[in-house]
Structure formats: structure tokens, C-alpha cells
């Protein structure tokens, strides 16, 4: 008897040490650094845009990270698809910092973790009842001015050592003259692109340094205007030729950017879920107010669009559909079903419903539907809930107490086990296919 106990303890300790590393594999996934591990900030010599679009109105902040003091004659200009009278602008310093996790990777982590948790619990049911193993393994597993000809200035603001104006024009040459009159540099090669915007009745937001110094870190422009779909200007960046100016665009919610062919090889779109609160360092009051508007009623979901393309690949502006891709929607469903304690609840419910039901369904086909056989069906239903140990003991009891042939009793136990595992694997398999 002592020898048997020692063997059982040895097996228990061995499987325990095997299960812990497997749980570690299940809790980590490539490139994911914890619940809110990926942080999105402004890199050197790059630009970042944060877009909040609601009720047909877009409010965004764009910040370009370079040494503004290197050239007091450099203008920053971008088009806006709206009437100038409907555009509101402001100047600010700092950018809200978003943090979160890729929902596709998170779904994979949730599904993989849940699968391993069930698999290990089921193997451990040789000596530990399945519901107990599920609870233990789940706990271990789950224990982010003057104007040029043809140009009209509609709004003018000076703040933090910068100037911002909203203008409209009759042609691109007028914009060029307007900038020249303000001692601002712009290449004449940009005039054809400006003409295209003028023909489409776009307005322009122009920013430059008023003196010799900017008094905020990461100077930014806040623009608000009506538009049916979120929009981000790209075309004017094409004047930089083959130079690569990394762009990071963050949009509140999960959306579908229309990535055109010229930038498709250089674009990376990710769908994130993080904290519904934004971190800000050295941000001005304008940025803090902008962040509060984003946080209002927000669930922490956002889309990141990273583009590192040669500037001459920007042949179009970026338009964004306010639709959640089906793959992302499915990933959210998987996270809601298999993430954290929800995985325990789901598998627990399946164990307490499907497992005993199989015990009742398989029994009559093997033993026949007789009233005197009902206690055996109940026995195997309970045994299937307990797991492998329960089924082994149940088969032994059927043979010893009810005089069921050993082979038939073993077949009953094996069919209960295989049927239950097959159903569970089918659920995990279909869930995995949802976001492939």
C-alpha cells in the first residue's frame, strides 16, 4: 500500500512540474508585453496624428517632432476637406500617450491559454477532479497677417511662440505667394498639388514660428472640422521625394483605413485595446481637454496606422471607414469568451452540462434503454464531469457492481471521454478559425 501511495505522489509531482512550464507558454505571446505593454509615442523626426471622430465631426491633433528652431522660415501646411468657416484650430504642446495590446494577438493568447488550461486540467483529472483542476490552473494562468493674391485668411491665432491660420485660396500659386509674403519657404513644385486641393474646395491650415523659439515640447496643431469619414492628409508630404518620414496615426475605436496600393507595403495597421485613460507628460491644457473628450464614453479601443514609406509614395490622402473589420470583431468575441476568468466560466459550464449529457446519451446505445440502467447512466454522467479518474473508477464500478462486461464498461468510459474532448476541441477550433 505504501508503495502505491509513493508512486501516485511521484506521478502527481512530475505532472505538476510539467504543467507549470506549459502554463508559462500559454501566458505569453510574440511581441505582447503585458496587459497594457505597448506604448505609442512620438519618435524623432516623425509625425503623429490622433483622431477623434464622432457625429460627423473630426477633431485631431497633429504633432511633428523636429527642431523647430532650426528654421524660423519653415511653414507647416496641410489641407482640410471643409469650408474654412467650419474649421476650428488651436495650438498645443504634447501628445496624449496611448497604451494597449493588439486585440488579434490578445485573442490568440486568450484562446491558447484557455486551451492549454483545459488540456492540462483534463490530464490532471487522472487524480484531480476536472472542475477543481480548472479552477486551480485558471488561477495560476491569470493570477496602456498679410495675404497673397487669391488667398483669404479666415482665422488667425498666436500662442506658445507659434502662429496658426486657416486660409482658402483660388489657386495653388496664391498659396505660394501668401507664404512668400510671410517670409516662409515652400517649393514651387508643390503648386500642382495645392491646385488639386483648391479645385476640390479644400481649406488649408498653416503653422509657423512667430519668433525664434517655441515654448512647448512637441508642438502640435489641433483641428476640428465636419467630415463624414475620418481623414488624414498625406499628399503634401510627397515633396520630400525619397525621404522617409515615419507617421503614426491613432484613431479612437476600431476602424478600417483605406490603405492605397502605393503605401500598402509600408503600412502596418493594428487594432488595440488598452486603458480608457490617457497618459500625458508636459502636456498643455489644450491637449488635456482633447484627451478628456476622447476618454468620454471610451472603452479603450483604438486603431494604430504606422506608415514608413518614401514620401513620394503619398499619392493620395488617407480616408478611414468607421467600420470594425470582421476579423477584429471576432477577436473581441473570443476575448470576451475566453479571456481571463471568462475562460473558466465557459469551460466550467460546458463541463457541467455537456459532460453529463454525454454520459446519458452514450449509455443507452451501449447498455440499452431500461429503467434499471438509469443509475448506471447517472453514475457515468457524474464520472464524466470528474474527468479521467472518475471515468476509470466508473468503469470499474460498472464491472464490479452491475456486472457489466469489462470491455463494454471500458468502451463506455472511453466514448464519454473522447466525445467530450471532441466537442471541446471543436469549440476551440471554430473559435480559432474565426480570426485566421
% of the chain exceeding 90 in pLDDT: 29
Cβ 173 vs Cβ 191: under 8 Å: yes
Q: Which residues on adjacent β-strands are paired with residue 101?
A: 273
Reported as a pLDDT band with limits 50, 70 and 90, residue 27 is very low
Antiparallel, parallel or unpaired: β 57-65 and 219-226: antiparallel
pLDDT over 70 (residue 14): no
Helix (H, G, I), strand (E, B) or coil at 28: coil
Alpha carbon distance 249, 363 (integer Å): 60
Q: Which of helix, strand or coil describes residue 69?
A: helix
Q: Quote the pLDDT of residue 403.
A: 84
Helix axes 326-338, 103-124, angle to 10 degrees: 40
pLDDT tens for each residue of 86-127 = 999 999 887 788 888 888 888 888 888 778 778 877 887 777
Residue 4 has pLDDT above 80, yes or no: no
CB 331 within 8 A of CB 320: no
327 Cβ contact list (under 8 Å, min separation 6): 104, 435
Residue 307 has pLDDT above 80, yes or no: yes
* Res. 48: pLDDT tops 60: yes
Report residue 334 as a C-alpha cell: 473570443
Residue 328 has pLDDT above 50, yes or no: yes
Q: According to the model, what pLDDT value does residue 148 have? A: 59
Q: Partners of 128 in the beta sheet? A: none
Residue 340: pLDDT over 50: yes
Mean pLDDT for the stretch of residues 27-41: 33
What cell numbers appear for 436 in the block? 485566421
Q: How far apart are CA 194 and CA 173, in angstroms?
A: 8
Cα separation, 274 vs 302, whole angstroms = 8
Does 361 score more than 80 pLDDT?
A: yes
The more confidently predicted of residues 290 and 117 is 290
pTM exceeds 0.75, yes or no:
no
User: What is the distance between the alpha carbons of residues 178 and 154, in angstroms, rounded to a whole number?
Assistant: 13
Lowest mean pLDDT among 191-195, 252-256, 310-314: 191-195
pLDDT at 221 over 50: yes
Q: Which helix (H) or strand (E) holds 110?
A: helix 103-124
Q: Of 111-125, 136-150, 298-312, 378-392, where does mean pLDDT reach its minimum?
A: 136-150
Encode burial over 379-391: b for 16+ CB neighbours within 10 A, e otherwise: bbbebbbbbbbbb
Closest to 350 (Cα-Cα) out of 431, 274, 283: 431
pLDDT average, residue stretch 370-388: 86
Averaged pLDDT, 46-68:
84
pLDDT for 160:
85
Average pLDDT rounded to a whole number, residues 275-301: 85
Q: Which among 85, 81, 89, 42 has a CA at the least distance from the CA of 319?
A: 81
Other CB atoms within 10 A of residue 284 CB: 22
| pLDDT class of 144 with cuts at 50, 70, 90 | very low
> Among 3-7, 93-97, 368-372, which stretch is predicted with the lowest mean pLDDT?
3-7
Q: What is the rounded average pLDDT of the residues 234-244? A: 81
Mean pLDDT of 167-175: 89
> What would the mean pLDDT of 243-254 be, rounded to a whole number?
91
Distance CA 248, CA 240 (A): 17
User: For position 204, what pLDDT does the model report?
Assistant: 93
Handedness of CA 174, 175, 180, 186 (dihedral sign): negative
Q: Which of 202, 199, 208, 150 is nearest to 178 (CA)?
A: 150
Flag whether pLDDT at 35 surpasses 90.
Answer: no
C-alpha cell belonging to residue 329: 470583431
CB 95 within 8 A of CB 226: no
Q: Give pLDDT tens digits for 190-201.
A: 788 888 999 999
Give one word for 45, left, alpha or beta, with left for phi > 0 and alpha for psi -120 to 50: left
DSSP state of 97: B
Amino acid at each position: 500500500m505504501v508503495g502505491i501511495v509513493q508512486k501516485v505522489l511521484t506521478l502527481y509531482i512530475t505532472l505538476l512540474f510539467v504543467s507549470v512550464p506549459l502554463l508559462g507558454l500559454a501566458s505569453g505571446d510574440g511581441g505582447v508585453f503585458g496587459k497594457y505593454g505597448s506604448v505609442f509615442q512620438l519618435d524623432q523626426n516623425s509625425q503623429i496624428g490622433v483622431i477623434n471622430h464622432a457625429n460627423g465631426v473630426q477633431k485631431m491633433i497633429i504633432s511633428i517632432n523636429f527642431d523647430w528652431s532650426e528654421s524660423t522660415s519653415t511653414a507647416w501646411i496641410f489641407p482640410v476637406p471643409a469650408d474654412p468657416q467650419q474649421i476650428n484650430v488651436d495650438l498645443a504642446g504634447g501628445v496624449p500617450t496611448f497604451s494597449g495590446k493588439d486585440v488579434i494577438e490578445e485573442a490568440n493568447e486568450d484562446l491558447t491559454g484557455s486551451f492549454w488550461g483545459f488540456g492540462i486540467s483534463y490530464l490532471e483529472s487522472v487524480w484531480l477532479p476536472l472542475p477543481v483542476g480548472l479552477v486551480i490552473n485558471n488561477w495560476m494562468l491569470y493570477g496602456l497677417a498679410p495675404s497673397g493674391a487669391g488667398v483669404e485668411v479666415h482665422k488667425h491665432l498666436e500662442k506658445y511662440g507659434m502662429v496658426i491660420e486657416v486660409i482658402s485660396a483660388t489657386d495653388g500659386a496664391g498659396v505660394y505667394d501668401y507664404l512668400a509674403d510671410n517670409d516662409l519657404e515652400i517649393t514651387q513644385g508643390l503648386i500642382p498639388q495645392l491646385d488639386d486641393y483648391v479645385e476640390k474646395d479644400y481649406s488649408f491650415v498653416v503653422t509657423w514660428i512667430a519668433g525664434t523659439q517655441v515654448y512647448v515640447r512637441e508642438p502640435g496643431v489641433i483641428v476640428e472640422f465636419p467630415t463624414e469619414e475620418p481623414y488624414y492628409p498625406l499628399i503634401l508630404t510627397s515633396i520630400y521625394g525619397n525621404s522617409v518620414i515615419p507617421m503614426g496615426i491613432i484613431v479612437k475605436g476600431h476602424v478600417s483605413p483605406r490603405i492605397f496600393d502605393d503605401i500598402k507595403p509600408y503600412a502596418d495597421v493594428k487594432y488595440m485595446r488598452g486603458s480608457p485613460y490617457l497618459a500625458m507628460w508636459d502636456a498643455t491644457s489644450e491637449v488635456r481637454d482633447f484627451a478628456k473628450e476622447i476618454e468620454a464614453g471610451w472603452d479603450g479601443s483604438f486603431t494604430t496606422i504606422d506608415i514608413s514609406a518614401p514620401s513620394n509614395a503619398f499619392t493620395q490622402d488617407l480616408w478611414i471607414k468607421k467600420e470594425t473589420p470582421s476579423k477584429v470583431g471576432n477577436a473581441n468575441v473570443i476575448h470576451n469568451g475566453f479571456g481571463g476568468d471568462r475562460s473558466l466560466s465557459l469551460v466550467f459550464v460546458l463541463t457541467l452540462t455537456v459532460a453529463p449529457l454525454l454520459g446519458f446519451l452514450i449509455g443507452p446505445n451501449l447498455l440499452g434503454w431500461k429503467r434499471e440502467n438509469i443509475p448506471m447512466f447517472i453514475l457515468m454522467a457524474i464520472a464524466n464531469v470528474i474527468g479521467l479518474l472518475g471515468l476509470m473508477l466508473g468503469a470499474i464500478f460498472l464491472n464490479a457492481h452491475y456486472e457489466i462486461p469489462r470491455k463494454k464498461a471500458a468502451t463506455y468510459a472511453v466514448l464519454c471521454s473522447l466525445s467530450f474532448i471532441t466537442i471541446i476541441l471543436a469549440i476551440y477550433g471554430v473559435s480559432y478559425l474565426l480570426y485566421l
